[in-house]
Amino acid sequence: MAEFSNPNLQGQSGGSGGGGGDMRGMMAFTLLFLVVLLGYQYFFKPQQPATPPPAAQTQSQTPSQSQPTQPASGSAQGSVSGAPQAQLARPQVAPAATPTIAAQLETTTTVENENYKIVFTNQGAQVKSWVLKKYFDTAGKPLDMVQPQASAYFGFPLSLFTYEPALTAQLNQALYQVTATGAQPTVTGHVEVPATSVLTFHYAANGLDVVKTFRFDASYVVTVDAEVKRNGVPVRALIQWPAGLGDMEEFLPSSSTRASIRTSALSQFDWSLNGKQDSEAVAKISNNATLDLPYSYAAVTDLYFVAALLPDAPDRATLVTLHNTIDLPSVLSDPNSEKKPAHVLGLAMGDTSGSTRLRLYAGPKAMDLLTSIHATGADGKPTGQSLEPLIQYGWLTVIAKPLYLALRFLVEHGVNNWGWAIIIVTVIFNLVLLPTRVLMMKSSLKMMRIQPKVEAIKQRYAHLKTTDPKRADMNAEMMELYKVEGVNMYGSCLPMLIQMPLFFAYFRLLQNTVELRQAHWYWLSDLSSPDPLHILPILIIITMFLTQYITPSPGMDPVQRKMLAFMMPAMFGFMLWTYASGLSLYWGTGNIINLAIQISINQSHIGKEMSAIAAKRAAKKTGVNPRTIQGKR
């Protein structure tokens, strides 16, 4: 923590013994800080439910089954509808004589540029692997956006979704013929992507005619066209990304190198309607819900990666939410532990006309990338809202975004390390706050000097009950005294009030900034994960204790002082035991700076006077008659 104000420095405004009232105020403020922190964690960090809500638990099965399950038709609820009635009531038409267009064997085609490596299979004209070259998994391999276990069960990216399970199965199992323009596949099916490359998959048989076309360039964006006709009549077929993405390592076999947390519990559904971005946590998403709304974009996201679908005609967009579950051990390291459902979130998007054209962004939640990608505007061109809102810093965006930009500036201009950037920004921030800390010390010293007058006022009203209305006169007299003496009774809380938003901004930053994922700093291999050696939490405990111990505390009860000196450092150190190490690095750096500042203050005239007042009051309590300490006002 950049700075944690010591309660011992509070002014002496209430209670017997000199420091009770203000001490109680500081303890109440600290309690409020903890309540806000825990509440923030509860509301902004989705928890894995023991049992998903009924709407989310449409399918809860084990990954032992190998065939993908096809979504059942949804039920109509308000703006959420089931399968389009026109298709459900399809008239019986005799199959037309359609020339058969199909491949004889399954083949794969690899499309590759500097950002990704995508492996298509002609069985279903879908994606088997979508590797991001610049990002890595826990095993150190390039990250595959396709989770193989979940996808083998629920479907692969860019497969088709229809409201007829048999038709969906046929479309996603057929062997398509593949043609490439702008690039020629090698014997192994590898395609090097130039500026304009197009892959076309075509399948036709028994009156069914399906064409899927994919266009690539040097970016992360892929343009997708899909058209399904049956006896010449368009069928509403949606392009789907059905089975999660990114760091879903909990679904890997226990023998694999994998993370120890369920990242799928943090996935969510994001969308934009009429220029307004919104999101919903995975546990609240229904399965097979159809929404015919003018979506500018819709996306499946986790903390650091996104698959966003941007329709070319938002006014005709149709969307289906896909939410399934797979039972996994509650403790991933113990295969024999109780099984609990893990979320698998996906979506499908198409055009109500039956002919779909959209763009797909599948990649990191990097600010520059998302800012450069725009939804289709009113002019039919990509001039609409950008994808930047997918990076969700929440109500702290006004602090978190400038903080991110400051850190990135340092990394790009000489520091070249996110850990050192955090340390430098923390040092600068504490130097900026140094005047407020000096003001805090002066406010505390003024409060100590007037403490005898405060006690005298309290003595005049000591005979009154706490419910007596005349107690208001006592408070009025004390407020007038503070005004005359120039004392701000809340001055000592100012640094903490400033730093609390920064603390939560760092928290959100570490949770939503892909550059900090797997960022290294000495023994820390990932600043977004807890310190594996727990060195930083221990450092936080020690530095907080030393700062508490050397801070003058006139009038404070010795029992209270010991409790605060030991309990608070232990509490905050334990709290950061399982938090992101980047947050601990910020807090620990701030604690070291605070300790150095407190040592300097103790050697100043303010610190010496405070220590003298503390010694005088301690001697008075023991019955010793010390010499009078005369302080300057």
* DSSP assignments along 572-594, one per residue: HHHHGGGS-HHHHHHHHHHHHHH
Do 21 and 138 lie in a common domain? no
Q: Give CA–CA dist 23/523, Å, rounded.
A: 39
On whether residue 73 sits in a domain, the answer given is: yes
Residue 214 forms beta bridges with which residues?
199, 224
On whether residue 400 sits in a domain, the answer given is: no
Find the CATH number of the domain harbouring 350: 2.70.98.90
Residue 282 CA, distance from chain mean position: 13
Q: Residue 622 has what DSSP assignment?
A: T
Do 22 and 72 lie in a common domain? no
The pLDDT of residue 47: 40
Using DSSP bridges, classify how beta strands 126-136 and 142-144 pair: parallel, antiparallel or unpaired.
antiparallel
Count the domains in the chain. Answer: 2
On whether residue 467 sits in a domain, the answer given is: no
The pLDDT of residue 194: 57
Do 14 and 81 lie in a common domain? no
Q: Give CA–CA dist 388/439, Å, rounded.
A: 40
Using DSSP bridges, classify how beta strands 60-61 and 317-329 pair: parallel, antiparallel or unpaired.
parallel
197-214 pLDDT, tens digit per residue, is 899 999 999 999 999 999
Which one of 392, 407, 442 terminates a domain?
392
Do 11 and 137 lie in a common domain? no
Task: Give kind and range of the element (H or E) at residue 132.
Answer: strand 126-136
Do 326 and 430 lie in a common domain? no
On whether residue 211 sits in a domain, the answer given is: yes
The pLDDT of residue 91: 47
Q: Give CA–CA dist 170/165, Å, rounded.
A: 9
Nearest residue to 344 (alpha-carbon basis) of 326, 321, 318 = 326
Do 266 and 159 lie in a common domain? yes
Nearest residue to 36 (alpha-carbon basis) of 573, 302, 396 = 396
Do 444 and 581 lie in a common domain? yes
3-state helix, strand, coil in the chain (%, to 5): 40, 25, 35
Q: Which residues of the chain have pLDDT under 50?
A: 1-25, 43-81, 85-91, 628-633
Do 377 and 495 lie in a common domain? no
On whether residue 199 sits in a domain, the answer given is: yes
On whether residue 630 sits in a domain, the answer given is: no
Kindly give the residue spans of alpha helices, DSSP state H, lying in 328-417.
Answer: 367-372, 397-410
Do 247 and 309 lie in a common domain? yes
Do 288 and 363 lie in a common domain? yes
Instruction: Check if the beta carbon of residue 303 is closer than 8 Å to that of residue 263.
Output: yes
The pLDDT of residue 253: 86
The pLDDT of residue 160: 97
The pLDDT of residue 553: 63
Q: What is the four-CA torsion angle of 135, 140, 145, 147, rounded to 10 degrees? A: -170
On whether residue 431 sits in a domain, the answer given is: yes
The pLDDT of residue 86: 40
Domain containing 85 equals 60-392
Do 347 and 419 lie in a common domain? no
Do 519 and 611 lie in a common domain? yes
Could you write out the DSSP letters of every residue in 227-270? EEEETTEE---EEEE-S--SS-GGGS-TTS---SS-GGGG-EEE
On whether residue 47 sits in a domain, the answer given is: no
The pLDDT of residue 70: 38
Nearest residue to 1 (alpha-carbon basis) of 628, 544, 621, 548 = 544
